[in-house]
Amino acid sequence: MTDKYPGLSFYTDRHGKVRWRYRTKERVVSLPAPDQPGFKEAYQAAVEGRKAPKAPVVRMPGAALPGTFGAATQRLKVSVKWLA
């Protein structure tokens, strides 16, 4: 697989996960696995020296992060005791 894509290599991190990267003398770019969607676009962007486009962030109005006071308030307002 690495013969097909020059500069592509992989390593196993300290957690045992296989990670793929594109390496040159100037930089190292993390890539998705070759069998993952978006690999070819990310590899081409790494070769050309540009950043791969990231997925858009979807804003959720009224959403709260778990474990925050906002999340606790939302759960409280829909509880039986609050509605009674």
Please name the helix (run of DSSP H) or strand (run of DSSP E) that holds residue 10, with its range, or none. Answer: strand 8-12
Task: Provide mean pLDDT across the span 69-74.
Answer: 90
Which residue type, as a one-letter code, is found at position 29? V
Q: Could you tell me if residue 82 is inside a domain?
A: no
Widest distance between CA atoms in the chain: 67
Q: Could you tell me if residue 76 is inside a domain?
A: no
Cβ neighbours for 52, distance < 8 A, ≥ 6 positions apart: 38, 41, 42, 45, 46
Of the candidates 79, 45, 74, the one whose C-alpha atom is nearest the C-alpha of residue 60 is 74
Range of the domain at 26: 8-48
What's the token pair of residue 53? 């486009």
User: If pLDDT is split at 50, 70 and 90, which confidence band does 78 have?
Assistant: confident
pLDDT at 18: 95
Domains of the chain: total: 1
pTM score, two decimals? 0.59
d(CA 6, CA 38): 17
pLDDT at 69: 93
pLDDT tens-digit map of 13-67: 999 999 999 998 888 999 999 998 889 989 999 999 888 777 788 888 888 888 9
Strand, coil or helix: 38: coil
User: If pLDDT is split at 50, 70 and 90, which confidence band does 1 have?
Assistant: low
